[in-house]
Amino acid sequence: MLMQVGEDYVRDVIHAFNERGFDALNPKWNGGRAKTISDEAREHICLIARTSPADWKITAFSTWSLSKLAEHLIKQKVTTAISRETLRRILREGKGSWKATTTWKASNDPEFIAKMHRVLTLYDTLPPTDG
């Protein structure tokens, strides 16, 4: 007995193979518990991480740390709770970063924030493909 599995398991695999083919032999296992933060909230988190704290009228610091960003997300009711590690993973998956540039030059354009949010939204939305 090479794999030390029971006969019932072998029968289940054979039936699954007969129904689904080779896909049944390579199950997509997901470890850990299910995601508690929706995909929409994850996108929102990445969007906020790309902004400056000054955009939110926060002047105590000029760049986000994971802790400060997590506090801000909870205060803004994007999520009810989030750990720094979960936040780090979300930003890594979303190609985001919690580190802003070392120097921040604010624009004097009164519509800068609205324009910036429109541009950032374009980064997050794929254009329609001709088909």
The DSSP code sequence of 41-92 is HHHHHHHHHTS-GGGGT--S-SS--HHHHHHHHHHTTS-S---HHHHHHHHH
How buried is 131 (Cβ within 10 angstroms: 0-12 exposed, 13-18 middle, 19+ buried)? exposed
| pTM of the predicted model as reported, rounded to 2 decimal places | 0.52
Q: Of how many residues is the chain composed?
A: 131
Per-residue pLDDT tens listing for the chain (131 residues): 466 788 898 898 899 889 988 888 776 666 777 788 999 999 999 999 989 899 999 988 888 899 999 999 999 999 999 999 999 999 998 875 555 445 556 778 889 889 988 888 888 887 777 75
Looking at residue 26, its pLDDT comes to: 77
Looking at residue 105, its pLDDT comes to: 67
